[in-house]
């Protein structure tokens, strides 16, 4: 162990408060979904839980930051935070893996079998005449799940409008935004490491603008899908996988943007030094992670 002892925090009310918060959260969430479509205000419990969560997180992170500023964190403890963040991102990777796995299974096995192809093609007898296509526009049972009128793929954008259609294709712009933002956040990081605070703030600010543009364009895309393309969560497995994959990704972009916004505010308040800024670094790792997920989404959801 180094000269300075490993800081073991004294007993803390924060984790227990967080556990209670999550208890309130799941009570609120379960009651809200059970009462969907009825005249109930159980969603208020959910809102209460969100308020509790933000409050607890604010105090928890504030304490961690204060401890670091007070010089309590020896190099070993700082490494613990690095390990913690890396493995947390790995867990997020595996969460997305589950949904990509589902998409792959649906496209390669479930839908072709329903369409009569392959070794288990006998399942076609459930809905004789059903044809396997992807994107799946005609679901097996149109009475229960009416298929979408249009899909979001690059092919469709191209076949409708040619090159102009591709240029008006929102995912193209979102790809540009997100890939560029990974670069800008890296330039910001370089600025911080070189002690150039202005460079850091400006490029981090640009990252945030790109991130928020992404969220806005994603919102526009969903609006288009719901209002003009007949593509909703209820339009069978194409809409299901499309919205769940892009939706969870969009949610993670929002989280990443919030994290980086906090980092910008912290920087403006004089936090971080050239060699001690893991809070920001963790946020930038997260940002690169959502960028990589987006690249996979473009490949497997939009293009292929």
Partner 1 sequence: MSTVVETHDHEGHHGPAKGLTRWLFTTNHKDIGTLYLWLSFTMLFVGGAMAMVIRAELFQPGLQIVQPEFFNQMTTNHGLIMVFGVIMPAFVGFANWMIPMQIGAPDMALPRLNNLSFWLLPMAFGILVSTLFMPEGGPNFGWTFYAPLSTTYAPSTVNFFIFSVHIMGISSILGSINIITTIFNMRAPGMTLMKMPLFVWGWLITAYLLIAVMPVLAGVVTMMLMDINFGTSFFNAAGGGDPVLFQHVFWFFGHPEVYIMILPAFGIVSHIIETFSRKPIFGYSSMVYAMASIAILSFVVWAHHMFTVGMPLAGELFFMYATMLIAIPTGVKVFNWVATMFRGSISFETPMLFAIAFVALFTIGGFSGLMLAIVPADFQYHDTYFVVAHFHYVLVPGSLFALIAGAYYWLPKWTGNMYDETLGKLHFWLTFISVNITFFPMHFVGLAGMPRRYPDYALQFADFNMLISMGAFLFGVTQLLFLFIVIKTIRGGKKATSEVWEGTRDLGLEWTLDSPPPHHTFTVQPQVK
Task: Return the residues of window 237-296 that contact partner 1 according to CB under 8 A.
Answer: 237-240, 243-244
When asked if residue 22 is in the footprint of partner 1 (CB under 8 A), the reply is: yes
> Judged by CB, which is closer to partner 1: 15, or 168?
15
Distance CA 123, CA 298 (A): 31
How far apart CA 279 and CA 262 sit, in angstroms, is: 10
Per CB under 8 A, contacts with partner 1 among 215-234 are 233-234
Q: Which residues contact 89 (CB under 8 A, 6 or more apart)?
A: 285, 286, 289
131 near partner 1 (CB under 8 A): no
By CB neighbour count within 10 A (0-12 exposed, 13-18 middle, 19+ buried), where does 197 fall? middle
Taking the complex as a whole, the smallest distance from the CB of residue 4 to partner 1 amounts, in Å, to 10
Give residues 53-82 in contact with partner 1 (rule: CB under 8 A). Answer: 60, 72, 76-77, 79-81
How many CB atoms are closer than 10 A to CB 88? 14
Overall residue count recorded for the chain in this entry:
304
Report the site for partner 1 in 143-202 (rule: CB under 8 A): 144-145
* Using rule CB under 8 A, residue 129 touches partner 1: no
Nearer to partner 1 (CB atom), residue 43 or residue 88: 88
CA 297 – CA 302 distance, rounded (Å) = 7
Residue of 45, 48, 110, 296 that binds partner 1 (CB under 8 A): 110
**Shortest Å distance, C-beta 240 to partner 1:** 4
């Amino acid at each position: 162990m180094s000269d300075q002892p490993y800081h073991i925090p004294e007993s803390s009310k924060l984790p227990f408060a967080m556990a209670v918060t999550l208890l309130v959260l799941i009570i609120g969430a379960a009651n809200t979904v059970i009462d969907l479509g009825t005249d109930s205000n159980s969603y208020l419990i959910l809102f209460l839980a969100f308020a509790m969560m933000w409050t607890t997180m604010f105090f928890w992170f504030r304490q961690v930051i204060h401890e670091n500023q007070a010089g309590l964190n020896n190099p070993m403890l700082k490494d613990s935070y690095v390990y913690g963040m890396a493995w947390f991102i790995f867990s997020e990777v595996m969460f997305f893996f589950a949904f990509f796995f589902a998409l792959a299974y649906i496209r390669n096995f479930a839908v072709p079998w329903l369409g009569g192809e392959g070794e288990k093609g006998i399942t076609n007898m459930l809905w004789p005449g059903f044809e396997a296509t992807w994107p799946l526009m005609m679901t097996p049972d149109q009475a229960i799940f009416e298929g979408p009128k249009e899909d979001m793929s690059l092919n469709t954008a191209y076949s409708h409008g040619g090159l102009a259609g591709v240029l008006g294709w929102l995912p193209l712009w979102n790809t540009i935004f997100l890939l560029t933002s990974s670069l800008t956040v890296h330039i910001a990081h370089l600025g911080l490491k070189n002690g150039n605070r202005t460079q850091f703030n400006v490029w981090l600010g640009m990252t945030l603008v790109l991130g928020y543009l992404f969220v806005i364009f994603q919102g526009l895309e969903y609006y288009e899908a719901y209002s003009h393309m007949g593509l909703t969560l209820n339009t069978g497995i194409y809409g299901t996988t499309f919205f769940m994959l892009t939706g969870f990704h969009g949610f993670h972009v929002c989280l990443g943007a919030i994290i980086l916004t906090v980092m910008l505010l912290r920087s403006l308040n004089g936090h971080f030094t050239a060699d001690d800024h893991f809070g920001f670094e963790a946020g930038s790792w997260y940002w690169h992670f959502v960028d990589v997920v987006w690249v996979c989404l473009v490949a497997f959801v939009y293009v292929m």
